[in-house]
A and B are shown apart, each in its own frame.
Chain A
């Protein structure tokens, strides 16, 4: 705190959350190296939304950029959370998948190319139903192939969070970077309450939501690899760190025995408090050393 009575670092920080998808993607590259692929003027938009009376967006809410991170080739794909909740449709899914497949082809040609996916998404776009589901399945297959060659880094910062099928895609990433404000989970709070009742999950209890889905808890229990502040240089630095680190020796999603044993050991006949759950899972399978 300064003597002015406010935290100057907080006031002067360059927020990452306040940037739109295009600005977020640009901010992660080495300055001046990025270019957009299939941008809004290419007008590859959802054919399905207008049929249902929904205004489409010219880039379908998915920004694909190619450039360099720490001098090495990288592709960044950012979902725009403000458009249809960052949902995955046929076009946005295909853009993300094709970008990862091209990165994979480059790696196979001997050009090391990492991928960063910025997920602000509720999952499948309901208006595109099965096409959205298929898109996520294809995306997950592409992540599995690419991550053998180069790190696939998932970044979720807020405010939408990363839910539904896209949380499963995030689970396949080599590294997951989150802010304290971000949330990551398969079923969102409203869905759990709707399906299992308010006794199971009170979706109006914000402390509970962040105690389960929040970045701090995900990091503390080893389900995320880095926790960053909403600060653009800090976010970009975390991404550079993981790009430099390369492919982890063991992906989290490959640690089947570890997680199966952990889940089997949980007594699900009673409600767990986020704090005691954190204590139980604190020795984590995370890919980053504890700070």
Chain B
């Protein structure tokens, strides 16, 4: 298991927390909560080691469209980048609903 952390700039406060997904094979769990300040913090635990660059690429793309001040925890069981992106968007949808 590898732990990876990233920070991204944020522009707006978010109101609601969101929990989506399951730590099942090829899937992941996302916990998204409001955070203080103008920063989004991402904390990842993944069962597949050695993919830091891939995580960074997926998150760069996600944060190109997302500006919420959020604390995001990802518990990953080997999800593909596409699934990771979909789960993040799902969490945002639940949080902004």
Contacts and interface: CB of A to CB of B under 8 A. Distances in A.
A65 to B, nearest CB: 14
Interface string A38-68: 0111000000001001111110010000000
Interface string A62-90: 00000000000000000010111000000
Contacts of A83: 22-24
Contact of A57 (B1, B17, B75): B75
Nearest to A50: B1
Interface string B4-39: 000000000000010100111101010101000000
A18 interface: no
Contacts of A57: 22-23, 29, 75
A39 B76 contact: no
B46 to A, nearest CB: 7
B45 A58 contact: no
Contacts of A108: none
Counting contact residues on chain A (CB < 8 A from B), the size range is 10 to 19
Contact of A50 (B45, B73, B76, B77): B45
B90 interface: no
Nearest to B77: A55
Contact of B19 (A53, A58, A84): A58
Counting contact residues on chain B (CB < 8 A from A), the size range is 10 to 19
Contact of B17 (A41, A53, A61): A41
A190 interface: no
A21 B45 CA distance: 22
B47 A40 contact: no
Interface of A is mostly: loop
A20 interface: yes
A20 B29 contact: no
A50 B22 CA distance: 16
Contact of B33 (A41, A53, A61, A82): A41
B19 A82 contact: no
Contacts of A61: 23
A61 B27 CA distance: 14
A35 to B, nearest CB: 14
A40 B75 CA distance: 12
Contact of A58 (B1, B25, B75, B77): B75
A54 B75 contact: no
B29 A82 contact: no
Nearest to A49: B1
Given A55-B77, A57-B29, 19 more contacts: A39-B19, A41-B17, A41-B19, A41-B31, A41-B33, A55-B1, A55-B23, A55-B45, A55-B47, A56-B75, A57-B22, A57-B75, A58-B19, A58-B31, A58-B75, A80-B24, A82-B24, A82-B25, A84-B23
25 contacts: A40-B29, A40-B31, A41-B17, A41-B31, A41-B33, A50-B1, A53-B47, A54-B1, A54-B47, A55-B75, A55-B76, A55-B77, A56-B45, A56-B75, A57-B29, A57-B75, A58-B29, A58-B73, A80-B24, A82-B22, A82-B23, A82-B27, A83-B22, A83-B23, A84-B23
